């Protein structure tokens, strides 16, 4: 008998706070998603903002984990 595996993608729930407006939003991503993928889902260009976790800047290639709180500080506008 052959073994049959079903790969299930477990979602990761991230709370995103936008520093400019002080609004929060919960976002669901795939496990092992990065900050860059989070920004792409939110339609934010990575070069227009800083991403912070616990008030410390984090690189775009850092992985996100379930329950994390990410703050997005927009430093330029699109116009």
Measured CA to CA in angstroms, residue 15 lies from 18, 25, 58, 72 at distances of 10, 6, 15, 11
Mean pLDDT over 7-11 rounds to 68
Here the CATH number for the domain that contains residue 16 is 3.10.20.90
| Counted domains in the chain | 1
Q: Please give the pLDDT value at position 1.
A: 52
Decide if 32 is inside a domain.
yes
The parent domain of residue 33 ranges over 11-74
> Is residue 61 domain-resident?
yes
Q: Are 24 and 16 in contact (CB under 8 A)?
A: yes
Give 10's pLDDT tier (boundaries 50, 70, 90).
confident
Quick check: is 79 in a domain? Answer: no
Sheet holding 11-18, edge to edge: 23-30, 11-18, 69-74, 49-53, 56-57
pLDDT interval class at 50 (50, 70, 90)? very high
């Amino acid at each position: 008998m052959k073994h049959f595996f079903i790969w299930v993608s477990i979602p990761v729930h991230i709370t995103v706070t936008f520093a400019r407006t002080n609004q929060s939003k919960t976002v669901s991503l795939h496990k092992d998603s990065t900050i860059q993928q989070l920004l792409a889902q939110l339609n934010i260009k990575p070069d227009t903002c800083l991403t912070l976790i616990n008030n410390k800047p984090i690189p775009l290639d850092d992985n996100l984990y379930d329950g994390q709180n990410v703050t997005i500080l927009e430093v330029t506008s699109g116009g």
